[in-house]
Structure 1
Amino acid sequence: MDLDINWVGVLLAALATFVVGGLWYSVLFAKVWQREAGVTDEQLKHGTIRAFVGSFLLALVMAAALAAFIGDGGAGFGTLAGLAAGVAWVAAALGINYLFERRSFTLFAINASYNIVAFTAMGAIIGALQ
């Protein structure tokens, strides 16, 4: 099996998670997410660099794995693969955790939908550039 990964596509896909996350967790759902997650403004002031650097490294891992899966399938396949990964793997796995942790459906909906949108965007970018 020969993996031909476009690393520029992986980088752009990882950056896309920050664009989506910036909208999701500030403009669209900031206060609701904070309340449901139990995160205060004071807590958000600490560890910001670690959170962003760690998130970017993990986004690179996700994008690289998605690129290996998408291969040369193209933008359409990449978009559908990203959507499927977001719904069937990430959101479903979060759902299992949230059920056992007795977390709210609202928090699940915010976090799961972020991942669905982020993975769909990553898949579209990777598929278009592979």
Structure 2
Amino acid sequence: MEINFLALFVAALSTLVVGSVWYGPLFGKVWMKENGFSEEELKQGSMVKIFGLTFVFSLFLALMMHFLCIHQFGPLGMIGGPDFIETAKPSYAAFMTDYGDAYRTYQHGALHGFMSGLFLALPLVGINGLFERKSWKYIFVHSGYWTVVMTIMGAIVCGWV
């Protein structure tokens, strides 16, 4: 089972593409108001650092989505990883012959990505938002973004075989 690094790269880029729309024309004004940002404040800071680290963190997330969306990594982990394929019991080869490409679709990845957004991103953003005394608008703008992004990332990493 190979990791498709091009799919990971594109999935990581999707966070920037979606973010430019989500935090721009769709919810940019709400996001700025809920954070107390002005246009001038947003122009401060190193954009290279912000976007560069965003991409690096997005690569981490894309790699994790790979393991959440592609079920064939489970049996691979059960035998000890790719180094042990040659010495695995015949049942591993039989399983991979029967199910090696099962559920490797864009739709299946999108489902797992959506579930990750709903059951991982929403609680994480929600808990932080509650302790930071942020509004529900703030929580829903951010968790909505992550749910959309994780849905797209899941579709890309699972379906792009």
TM-score w.r.t. length of structure 1: 0.92
Alignment of 1:26-105 (within 5 A): 26-47=24-45, 48-71=47-70, 73-74=103-104, 75-105=106-136
Structure with bigger helix share is 1
Give the counterpart letter for 2:137 in structure 1: T
Q: Distance in 1 between matches of 2:139 and 2:31?
A: 10
Whole-angstrom CA distance in 2 between matches of 1:99 and 1:121: 27
Q: 2:149 pairs with 109, 112, 118, which one?
A: 118
Two-structure CA RMSD over aligned residues (Å)? 1.3
2:14 to 13, 16, 23: 16
Q: Return the alpha-carbon distance in structure 1 between the equivalents of residues 136 and 57 of structure 2.
A: 25
TM-superposed CA distance for 1:91, in Å, is 1.1
Q: Structure 1 residue runs of 4+, over 4 Å off? A: none
Q: Which has the higher contact order (CA 8 A, sep 6+)?
A: 1
Which sections of structure 2, spanning at least 5 residues, go unmatched?
A: 73-102
For 1:96 and 1:4, the matched residues in 2 are separated by: 35
> Separation in 1 of the partners of 2:41 and 2:3?
38
Structure 1, unmatched stretches of 5+, are: none
The alignment-based identity, stated in percent, is 35
How many residues align? The count is 128
Equivalent residue number for residue 128 of structure 1: 159
Distance (whole Å) between structure 2 residues aligned to residue 31 and residue 103 of structure 1: 16
Instruction: Give CA-to-partner distance per residue, 1:93-122, whole Å, 9 cap, x none.
Output: 111111111100111111110000000000
